[in-house]
Structure 1
Amino acid sequence: MSPAAEPLRDEGTRTQVVVAGAVAGLVSRFCIAPLDVVKIRLQLQYHSLVDPLSVAASFRRKPLGVIEVARDILRHEGITGFWKGNIPAEGLYLSYGAAQFLAYRSTTQALDALTEDEHGKQRWHVPGTAKSFIAGAVAGTAATTVTYPLDLLRTRFAAQGTEKVYESLIASIRDIKRNEGMGGYFRGLGAGVGQIVPYMGLFFASYEGLKPALADVQLPFGSGDAIAGISASIFSKTVVFPLDTVRKRLQVQGPTRQKYVGGHKTPVYDRGVFGTLTMIVRKEGTMGLYRGLSVSLVKAAPASAITMWTYERALDALKRIQEEDG
């Protein structure tokens, strides 16, 4: 196997993987923040197909298209409106990136240990894509659960229009704890885990499957890592996007529900992930589950390319530093 085809699990020490993953998440989040805010606003538009009068009213009151939503944010909230929720989001991406790559590396090492005997020989053969899928799913579950409160805060701040729901990050943490309890920080976690397990499994399996084939592709900023990251992310994100919409809808439930974009039209979802999924389909049609997908895919391409490119470069830099110091 050529060096370019080596899987992520065999590269770098544990500390190097954590630092490189954190840096990758931090850089990626800053670059795609505006697209993330627009996507969340689109996902939280509630247009019932049951009540035509309701649809007409919401059409007049809230723009529906990507350009219209972006223009509306710029006009009423200023350029900084595109970075609403950026503080918890930076914390989310920073910690998520580190937790994700650390869990991925640890899981693949554990799988290798299980399939080898004490002499290093394989007891049974497990395809590399299967290992990548399992490790990606475990990594995604662990990272999602640990960082979920930050994800919820990111969504709630991004969902604030001209009316402020929380005065500050500290105030939001205090308010949720007082009015919703600890469970308030984990609204929609089931949808988050249900989304991330197949997403991360499919993403890492696709990425590591494509990476060797694209190893010789030369780009202005490096090898085929970026192309592999883009392709893997677009494929996996499209498959699980409905659960992402469900997660966003559930995250803004609670006593402040009617203060976010959508206002008094914000439905009550109190029947769990599956109940929310079926309710959206019944009232808004199947397309209601995919509102914001185009922005999500546009976001996925630069986000994944930046993440994987930065991760590979940061890891290489850390390894060179260690070699020079060694």
Structure 2
Amino acid sequence: MSRREEQLKDEGSRSQVVLAGAIAGLVSRFCVAPLDVIKIRLQLQSHSLSDPLSHHGLQGPIYKGTFNTLKAILRQEGITALWKGNIPAELLYIAYGAIQFTTYRSTTQLLHQLPPSYRLPNTAEAFVSGAASGTLATTCTYPLDLLRTRFAAQGVDRVYSGLLFSVREIAANEGFRGFFQGLSAGVGQIVPYMGLFFTFYETLRLSLGHLDLPFGSRDAAAGIAASVAAKTAVFPLDTVRKRLQVQGPTRVRYVHRNIPQYAGGVTSTLRAIIQREGRRGLYRGLTVSLLKAAPTSAVTMWTYERALNVMKTLETTIEEE
């Protein structure tokens, strides 16, 4: 049996993968929620002085840097504001993690069943599996992602009073399509991101395999490095996605009351941001995004591997009794 076949055999059952992915998503989301709120606030902030007045009657940016944004949110809204949108986000991370890891495992096994002459190299296999898992998970969970963004963008004046209320309001005022605003940017971002992430992750994890690192930190280290590299490459599309997600009748009611209106799709939004704010406008919040991406991926992959190992150990113990 080849090394790759041994790895596939040792990846657990489908139900174990689903549960481990869900647990990984739940734990990682709670840990990085404050960084996510800060990132969204910075991404939605327009930096053009020609924009209309924003929050508190200010013209131009109201947040300057990660730590200043953190202090401003704590001062104006309290510590609980750092977990705004946490309910849809937790549901998002649970569902996303379960779909992502299940699809990745299934796609990898499917590709491995190809005749030897048609098999892809391990890195290409990881890229295809990662891209497929990211696309399906993003599409299936996108409404939750949109709700997470809108709740995180709320200031003291609440736009939506609760999760069910927000669903009813969007359905009534924006229709079914309202839940999928910016989906093309999301898929356009996640395909290269997840493909690159899993390619880097699998390569680094195997490269570090000879190192005896404590507490499973090999998986965490590989996850951090892979996430930082992949996130930086696709960040402009993430900014476009966030800007498009808050379009609609509630656009001027968030913390940033001067969020520009984007009438077109991804390409026209990219051009509009560059024209108004320069290329730097596409990278607002990149620093905090990298700060968030590293622990998110580290916690996700570490938790996933540990949870999967625990379930496999329990299964073996039960079978032996």
Which bracket does the TM-score occupy, shorter chain normalised?
over 0.9
CA contact (8 A) 2:8 2:109 kept: no
Residue pairs, 1:298-317, within 5 angstroms:
298-317=291-310
- Cross-structure match for 1:58: 59
Flag the 1:184–1:215 CA change in 2: closer, same or farther, 3 A. same
Indicate the percent of aligned positions where both proteins have the same amino acid.
61
* 1:184 matched to 2:185: no
CA contact (8 A) 2:51 2:59 kept: no
CA distance, structure 2, for counterparts of residue 201 and residue 266 of structure 1? 31
SS, match of residue 167 in structure 1 = coil
Please, what is the CA RMSD of the aligned residues? 2.1
CA distance, structure 2, for counterparts of residue 46 and residue 245 of structure 1? 11
CA distance, structure 1, for counterparts of residue 269 and residue 286 of structure 2? 18
CA contact (8 A) 2:131 2:191 kept: yes
Residue pairs, 1:1-326, within 5 angstroms:
11-48=11-48, 51=50, 57-59=58-60, 62-113=62-113, 115-116=114-115, 122-263=116-257, 265-326=258-319
Amino acid across the alignment from 2:293: A
Structure 1 residues not aligned, in runs of 5+: 117-121
Flag the 1:27–1:5 CA change in 2: closer, same or farther, 3 A. farther
Deviation of 1:220 (Å): 3.9
Flag the 1:57–1:8 CA change in 2: closer, same or farther, 3 A. farther
CA contact (8 A) 2:42 2:63 kept: no
Instruction: Spell out, residue by residue over 1:262-316, the C-alpha distance to the aligned partner (whole angstroms, 9 max, x if none).
Output: 10x1111111011001100111000000000000001111111100000000000
TM-score for both structures, normalised by structure 2: 0.94
CA contact (8 A) 1:5 1:215 kept: no
SS, match of residue 39 in structure 2 = helix
Flag the 1:82–1:124 CA change in 2: closer, same or farther, 3 A. same
Flag the 1:225–1:197 CA change in 2: closer, same or farther, 3 A. same
CA distance, structure 1, for counterparts of residue 81 and residue 129 of structure 2? 37
Deviation of 1:5 (Å): 11
How many aligned positions are there? 317
